[in-house]
Amino acid sequence: MEAKEMLARIRRLTEPGATADPALPADLRRLRDVPALLEAGRLLAKVPAELLGRLTPLRVAVTGTFTASGVAPLLRVALLGKGIAPQIHVSGFDQLAVDLSSQDSPLAEFAPQVTLCLLHDDWFVPRDWDDAEAFQSAVRGRFAMFDNLVSAFTGRSGSAVLVHTVPLSPVEVRGVVAFDGRAALGRAWRELNSDLLGMALRHDQVHALDLEAYLVDAPARLRDERLYRFASAAWTSEVEQVYAHEAANFCRAFLGMAKKVLVLDLDNTLWGGVVGDDGPSGIQIGPLYPGNAFREMQRRAVQLRKQGVVLALCSKNEASIVDQVLTEHPDLVIRPDDIAARAVDWQPKDHNIRGLAGQLNLGLDSFVFADDSTFETQLVRGSLPEVTVVHLDGDPADHVTALQRGGCFDVLTTTATDRERTRLYKARAERTEFADSFSSVQDYLRSLEIRVSVREADEFSLPRLVQLGQRTNQFTMTGSPHPEARTREMAASADHLVLVFEVADRFGAEGIVGGVWVSKHDEHWLIENFVMSCRVFTRGVEHTVVQHIADRAASAGAARLEADFVATGRNKAAAEFYPDAGFSPVGEGRFTLPVVPRPQIGPDWTSLVVEGESADV
Partner 1 sequence: MSEVFTEVAGLVGQVTDLPAEDISADARFDALANWTSYDALRLLTGIEQHFAVRLDLQEYFAIKDVGGLVAAVSSARGKSG
If one asks whether residue 553 binds partner 1 (CB under 8 A), the answer comes out as: no
What residues from 520 to 549 belong to the interface with partner 1 (CB under 8 A)? none
Amino acid symbol at 530: F
If one asks whether residue 78 binds partner 1 (CB under 8 A), the answer comes out as: no
| Residue 294 Cβ vs partner 1, minimum distance, rounded to whole Å | 37
| Residue 19 Cβ vs partner 1, minimum distance, rounded to whole Å | 20
If one asks whether residue 3 binds partner 1 (CB under 8 A), the answer comes out as: no
If one asks whether residue 69 binds partner 1 (CB under 8 A), the answer comes out as: yes
Close Cβ partners of 78 (under 8 Å, ≥ 6 residues apart): 244, 245, 247, 248
CA dist 308 and 569 (Å) reads: 26
What count of Cα atoms within 13 Å lies in the side-chain half-sphere of residue 65?
A: 14
Helices (H), 361-479: 374-383, 399-405, 416-419, 421-435, 441-448, 462-471
CA dist 19 and 224 (Å) reads: 40
Residue 460: count other Cβ atoms within 10 Å of its Cβ.
11
Which residue number, 35 or 282, has a Cβ lying nearer to partner 1? 35
Which residue number, 67 or 159, has a Cβ lying nearer to partner 1? 67
Beta sheet of 524-532, edge-to-edge order = 584-585, 590-594, 560-564, 524-532, 508-520, 496-505, 450-456, 606-611
Which residue number, 64 or 514, has a Cβ lying nearer to partner 1? 64
Which residue number, 46 or 156, has a Cβ lying nearer to partner 1? 46
CA dist 437 and 427 (Å) reads: 16
Question: How many residues would you count in the chain?
Answer: 617
| Residue 42 Cβ vs partner 1, minimum distance, rounded to whole Å | 9
Size of the site for partner 1 (CB under 8 A): 12
Using an 8 Å Cβ cutoff, are 312 and 360 in contact? yes
| Residue 39 Cβ vs partner 1, minimum distance, rounded to whole Å | 6
Which residue number, 230 or 460, has a Cβ lying nearer to partner 1? 230
Which residue number, 35 or 336, has a Cβ lying nearer to partner 1? 35
Which residue number, 62 or 450, has a Cβ lying nearer to partner 1? 62
| Residue 48 Cβ vs partner 1, minimum distance, rounded to whole Å | 18
CA dist 615 and 254 (Å) reads: 35
CA dist 39 and 35 (Å) reads: 6
Which residue number, 34 or 485, has a Cβ lying nearer to partner 1? 34
What residues from 439 to 458 belong to the interface with partner 1 (CB under 8 A)? none
Among 22, 35, 141, 585, binds partner 1 (CB under 8 A): 35
* b/e 72-111 (16+ beta carbons within 10 angstroms → b): bbbbbbbbbbbbbbbebbbbeebbbebbbeeeebbbbebe
Which residue number, 230 or 434, has a Cβ lying nearer to partner 1? 230
Using an 8 Å Cβ cutoff, are 560 and 523 in contact? yes
Sign of CA dihedral 411, 415, 420, 426: negative
If one asks whether residue 226 binds partner 1 (CB under 8 A), the answer comes out as: yes
Binding characters for partner 1, 283-322, by CB under 8 A (x = yes): ----------------------------------------
| Residue 90 Cβ vs partner 1, minimum distance, rounded to whole Å | 12
Using an 8 Å Cβ cutoff, are 534 and 474 in contact? yes
* Of 35-43, 55-63, 377-385, 561-569: span binding partner 1 (CB under 8 A): 35-43
Q: How many helices (H) and strands (E) does the chain have?
A: 27, 18
- Three-class DSSP category at 101: helix
* Of 190-198, 228-236, 326-334, 546-554: span binding partner 1 (CB under 8 A): 228-236
Which residue number, 46 or 506, has a Cβ lying nearer to partner 1? 46
Q: CA 152, 166, 158: angle at the middle one, nearest 5? A: 25
Among 217, 230, 393, 443, binds partner 1 (CB under 8 A): 230
If one asks whether residue 16 binds partner 1 (CB under 8 A), the answer comes out as: no
| Residue 11 Cβ vs partner 1, minimum distance, rounded to whole Å | 8
* Of 77-85, 230-238, 344-352, 566-574: span binding partner 1 (CB under 8 A): 230-238
| Residue 230 Cβ vs partner 1, minimum distance, rounded to whole Å | 6
- Three-class DSSP category at 587: coil
Distances (CA, A) of 544 to 218, 428, 496, 508, 510: 53, 20, 20, 19, 16
Which residue number, 94 or 212, has a Cβ lying nearer to partner 1? 94
Amino acid symbol at 518: V
If one asks whether residue 38 binds partner 1 (CB under 8 A), the answer comes out as: yes
| Residue 221 Cβ vs partner 1, minimum distance, rounded to whole Å | 12
If one asks whether residue 383 binds partner 1 (CB under 8 A), the answer comes out as: no
If one asks whether residue 227 binds partner 1 (CB under 8 A), the answer comes out as: yes
Close Cβ partners of 497 (under 8 Å, ≥ 6 residues apart): 456, 490, 516, 518, 519, 520, 525, 549, 552, 616
CA dist 244 and 528 (Å) reads: 35
What residues from 234 to 273 belong to the interface with partner 1 (CB under 8 A)? 237
* Of 143-151, 231-239, 431-439, 550-558: span binding partner 1 (CB under 8 A): 231-239
Which residue number, 7 or 184, has a Cβ lying nearer to partner 1? 7
| Residue 8 Cβ vs partner 1, minimum distance, rounded to whole Å | 11
Among 173, 231, 288, 596, binds partner 1 (CB under 8 A): 231
> Strand pairing partners for 264?
313, 370
Binding residues for partner 1, rule: CB under 8 A, are 7, 34-35, 38-39, 69, 226-227, 230-231, 233, 237
